Structure 1
């Protein structure tokens, strides 16, 4: 919106959003990210997707070489359908760059990572808004997280963002079920390791025409990881799944190691490692 990963001066770039530039400026008029000394202006939106698909918006300008989606996919009720929509406007061997929040360092801290069944189920039902299940899980578990404290090992039980979360979650889920209400939600939740496991499955099932070409795991004191998906519709699902990268779960799925400070701290951790095989 106002901090794009790719700038216009980097090449032939089109910015897409669900609303027009004017609507976005009105919506976020008082938001700290666009107001104040450190703020950056909202970019001019070229493709407004509120009432049309990306393919319809692009028209004859498709296909494209690459697509960048930063903190978008987790808001999509049906990520597999969304990725197929993107594939439809992408050249063969074109890539999608994803910036994905790591649940360990965000307000999704207490939520369990999404499973293959979660993504397949919402894809088969053609979900267009967050389901009652997705909404209830999000609202009931969302937490006030200090990412730096989690990395430092001083925070392992963040508290709720607001009071009455459980009853609020039920009310919001009922509203979705009974009235089809829209609730902005992190519909899916990942760690770098869980992302690879789920998407290897859906690639092997032939549900998306991509391979995972690269993953950059979450770096210390940050909250997101980066994934490069390459379109290879000519290859078999098994071939595409076979090249999925691997990560060490002890570093990229569990809580991060606590930084070692001072001789006493190092000795304590060394003794714990000898006794338990882990510093946790």
Structure 2
């Protein structure tokens, strides 16, 4: 279901050098959403690409929370089979603080983040940092996992208070709470599995097995001492994510326009968001009104869709 504001497979195509060709166009459902509005012949930025970037264009730069060798080592230690094929990372940034200070004078026409935001300790700071290095009118496209259809199915929905806490404290690594919740609540559920079978959470084992509670506690203690644990710091549904953005916009903590929103469709486990850095300087009050109007439009569209589905189910 396309929810475009008026006027406006797991990962991507993977090192597709055709993205460097003027004749290349996205073809898959994911490619379309993750490149929506992007000037692919311009300079782009992909965040957290690991070994499977959305675009393989030489004009797309890569940023991650650590350098290439560190990420490869951490992936190898976790048993990941494709650690050696991680992309060469151009910029190291923890996802909080100034990204402009890291990239210098370089500016980007677009940014892409596929299944990254849930790993980011401080999303509000992360959005601000990316916004610093986008040109006016530049787009930021995200694919976001829907907790209802992943191993995060039992995780509590993230709250606005947690979002504010992470920003006020400028988290640069997953906090003890984030590490604990990610390990403790994770369930042994395959992506998209709830579409095809009933999931009895009371009888579904933890993702980390029977040791999950103790492991979660041990990792949380080590996180306090500064150890980094790659975690799902946040758990969203399409509606809960829009509600969080509404709260952030109301507080003046979010500086993007919302152009497109695509909730999870049948058989899938992710939703898509397309943001735009305002093309001109906008008064804060005017920006907030535009944002809240856009969010209300998307929320109404989801409510109408849900109403139709309920009618069809009767």
TM-score range, shorter chain: 0.7 to 0.9
Partner of 1:16: 63
Partner of 1:105: 149
Q: Distance in 1 between matches of 2:302 and 2:169?
A: 33
Is 1:240 matched up with 2:291? yes
Q: Distance in 1 between matches of 2:181 and 2:171?
A: 16
Partner of 2:247: 201
1:48: how far off? 3.4
* CA displacement, residues 100-143 of structure 1 (integer Å, 9 cap, x when unaligned): 11111211110111111111122122222222222222221111
Alignment CA distance shift 1:42-1:222 (3 Å): same
- Quick check: which has more Rg, 1 or 2? 1
Unaligned runs of 5+ in 1: 36-40, 258-272
Q: What number of residue pairs does the alignment pair up?
A: 249
Partner of 2:216: 169
Q: TM-score, normalised by structure 2?
A: 0.70
Partner of 1:185: 231
1:3: how far off? 1.8
Confirm or deny: 8 A CA contact 1:150 1:156 kept in the other structure. Answer: no
Q: Secondary structure at the match of 1:88?
A: helix
Q: Secondary structure at the match of 2:104?
A: helix
Q: Distance in 1 between matches of 2:160 and 2:70?
A: 36
CA RMSD of aligned residues (A): 2.9
Q: Distance in 2 between matches of 1:50 and 1:80?
A: 13
Alignment CA distance shift 1:175-1:28 (3 Å): closer
Unaligned runs of 5+ in 2: 1-49
Q: TM-score, normalised by structure 1?
A: 0.77
Confirm or deny: 8 A CA contact 1:95 1:229 kept in the other structure. Answer: yes
* CA displacement, residues 136-159 of structure 1 (integer Å, 9 cap, x when unaligned): 222211111023431013324232
